[in-house]
Amino acid sequence: MATGLTTSEVTRKRAMSGPNTLPAARRPPVALLLVRQLTHFFALLLWAAALLAVLAGMPELSVAIIIVIVVNGVFAFVQEYRADRSVDRLRDLMPATAVVRRDGHRRSVPVADLVPGDVVLLEAGDRVSADLRVVSAAALAADESLLTGESVPRQVTVGEDLFAGTFVVEGAAETVVTATGGRTRLADIAAMTRQAHRPPSPLAVRLSRVVRVVAVTAVAAGVVLFGVGLMLGLTPLQGFLFALGVTVALVPEGLLPTVTLALAYGAHAMARRNALVRRLEAVETLGSVTFICTDKTGTLTCNQMTVIQVWTPNGTARVTGEGYEQHGHVDAPPAVAAQVRELAYAAFRASRGRLTPYEGGWQPHGDPMEVALHVLALRAGVDVDARAQSEPEQLWMPFDPRRLRAASLAGTTLYVKGAPEQVLADCRDEDAAQAGLQAAHAMADRGLRVLAVARRRDTAPAAAATAAELDLLGVVGLLDPPRPDVGDAIAACRRAHIDLAMITGDHPATAKALAAQVGLCGPDPLVVTGAQLPATDAALGALVDHDGVIIARVTPEQKLRIARALRARGHAVAMTGDGVNDAPALREADIGIAMGASGSDVAREAADLVLLDDHFATIVAAIETGRSTFANIRRFLTYHLTDNVAELAPFAVWALTGGSFPLAIGVLQILALDIGTDLLPALALGAEPPNPRTLTGRARTGQLIDRRLLVRAFGVLGPAEVIASLGAFTAVLLAGGWRWGDTPSAGLLAAASGTAFAAIVLGQLANAFACRSGTRPALLLDPRRNPLLLSAVAIELVLLCAFLGVPAIAATLGGSWPPPAGWALAALAIPVLLAADTLHKAVRARRITSGTAAPR
């Protein structure tokens, strides 16, 4: 066994080879990114429109169009830049360590610290972090699909190479680093990958469809108004520019970057709660989850195992001590204590988890269960290092998810540990095996995790993998307490109508005891084992589609079938996993969730969400954020569409009356609304935090724009703004002496137009607060929960005063400072809109109570 490099050798080699990182991708210059946002197809059309406006002698319209291009371009650029950098930051947070042997000790080091000549130890589930040469191997197989495209794992033998970026899917190996960083084969592939373009996400496709629909509507409105303008005596060029201005004003150019910001905000909110989103669109998908298939160990429990009881054929021992400290002892008669020592050493040899010295203390490495077995050996007084040196390992057989056992051949002795029902079936003493099985059931009924330990002497390497006729040493009971707040998280799932299933490889009695303890199941739960699952997916789906079902002794293939069967029944499935063989199930689920602290690299690569703390409550928090993000997208869509109604109505009234009713607001005023007063409140709505009712009732996801949203925007909020703004406009005209069909004086029209403009802005102010909830009146919502909205509204009011109070700006836009009565009329837009919103929500609540409307 190689001792590995010394610390001084590592330092010297790192100075020569540099960090083990891929060369950073050469990003396009920031200026080029900005230019791209200002020169895409739609932007080029707007530039052409601005040029036509200049040629037609309308520089004000040209400047306004250019402002639209620049504001939306800069905003889109900022969001793209932030999203790109946020992905890098999240990637930096991902665990990236390798197990090496240095100075004769096993230790975990950052992948970036690997140097040529390092001894790297690999097990199933590990990512290969540098180019390696295999020194010793046991049943080693690697997934090299990243390099070759071949999905079948390659069997790797001593002397062959493993390449960075591949994964160990089976077996174990000791290897030596041959190349790092930019000298690896992966570096060449990474260079080619940078040239590839990622396709748009499903959410982006849906949003693009929304933008196209709204854009087509805007163009159609422009065409109609162009025709009406010609009939009213406008020249073709004037009519064209007039229609063009309206079209430009009504197209929601900033919608996509606003949605991106909402998703990015959701991703950052999840990161603050220890959930890393690997794909931004998964933020929205999380909100639609209806079924969670969760692991037990580490997710529902603390994953801090301690052996507290050992059964041997001679009697039972109690083990004292906490955590990874070596103090503690085995409380048993001498004969039993001697057997415990043999059992503890055998369990140690059949494991890879170790407790290693580190900075004056002890550092656990590997599976917490196996570390607990090492601690048991130390507490039993076994000198594991001395005995291991006298029995060098000949063959290591990692945990087999089908046989549910792991083994090691040391010298000629085979040491085995695994599920009691599997190991005990291979033991030669049937009476002892039967007694051990009863002891295992008794421990499992108490919620302990149970393992059987056995050995066989005089075993040849060729017979080790299938060896039977084992000598039973005993059964170990390990305590892994539930996480303190997991019960509250499960209760939150129930309130959210999210069904739960525990899927574990553990003993069914252990799983049942823990599920009852945390409230996952009722007093008479459905408990099945993997062997009892139906053969057909339809029958499987019917069996497991029950809240609180417990499925024990499950293989990775069965997890994949469960995910597929539940999805076939219409569920949006979240599946947790940490092992290398869990990757197919994670990909099959709508949301694959990997463990960041204890999971394998393969599982993390396959997942959409990585839990840094491996905590079930973090999944629930992420779902809450996902639901909130979807609701936020609908909030600012409602906000945008309401404003479009208020902006289009004056032109529709002007056109329908053949010009007899003056135009309340102009094109430049619409542009001022879109790029001035409305932008910041829309962004603030995208950052609305989850409310206490977010996890109450079923998820409401699917179409971004549905009948309910359209009714609210076009049938309630929009008409309320129209009534308030056109009513105020008409009142000011009438007060100034205007009569139907007359042409008002320029001063009167400017004052009335300023009043209408103020009414729309103030109506949108109220609309921003109304859009914070789809069910509760705005006055019942605490405005302090969204401080960004308060700031946005304050800026909106400042801009309103500037647009109407600064003479040069007011003259350019076409309005003027309203008279006192005009301000009073404009202010009525706030109570009018809030009253309409409150009445609509009350009517809907009454219909829900009567059963004539859906509750969400």
From CA 752, how far away is CA 21, in angstroms rounded? 65
505-508 contacts at long range (C-beta below 8 A, 24 or more positions apart): 505/401, 505/404, 505/419, 505/552, 505/553, 505/554, 505/555, 506/296, 506/297, 506/449, 506/552, 506/553, 507/419, 507/420, 507/440, 507/444, 507/449, 507/450, 507/552, 507/553, 508/444, 508/550, 508/552, 508/553
DSSP line for 266-305 = HHHHHHHTTEEESSTTHHHHHTT--EEEE-STTTTB----
Length of the chain: 856
Ramachandran angles phi, psi of 156, nearest 5°: -115, 130
Residue 241's identity, in one-letter code, is L
As beta bridge partners, residue 595 has 611
Question: How far, in Å, are 111, 334, 718 from residue 347 at the CA level?
Answer: 30, 20, 71
**Two structure tokens written together for 636:** 């600012």
Measured CA to CA, the distance from residue 194 to residue 33 in angstroms comes to 16
Distance of CA 750 to the CA centre of its chain: 51
- Residue 742 and residue 754: Cα distance in Å, rounded? 19
| Contact present, 578 and 598 (Cβ < 8 Å) | yes
178: alpha, beta or left? (left if phi > 0; alpha if psi -120 to 50): alpha
Closest CA to 595 of 581, 574, 608, 612: 612
Using DSSP, state whether 431 is helix, strand or coil: helix
Burial (CB count within 10 angstroms: exposed 0-12, middle 13-18, buried 19+), residue 580 = buried
Amino acid at 482: P
CA-to-CA distance for 250 and 245, rounded, in angstroms?
9
Q: Residue 186 corresponds to which amino acid?
A: L
For the record, the structure tokens of 626 come out as: 């996902």
Q: Which helix (H) or strand (E) holds 306?
A: strand 306-312
**Structure tokens, 335:** 């004969």
Alpha carbon of residue 423 to chain centroid: 39
User: DSSP class of residue 827?
Assistant: H
User: Taking the CA atoms of the chain, what radius of gyration do you get in angstroms?
Assistant: 34
Query: d(Cα 684, Cα 760) in Å, to the nearest integer?
Result: 19
DSSP class of residue 675 equals I
Question: Of 295, 367, 582, 837, which residue is the catalytic one?
Answer: 295
**Strand boundaries in 458-582, DSSP class E:** 471-479, 499-503, 527-529, 549-552, 573-577
742 is catalytic: no
Give catalytic residues, as residue numbers.
295
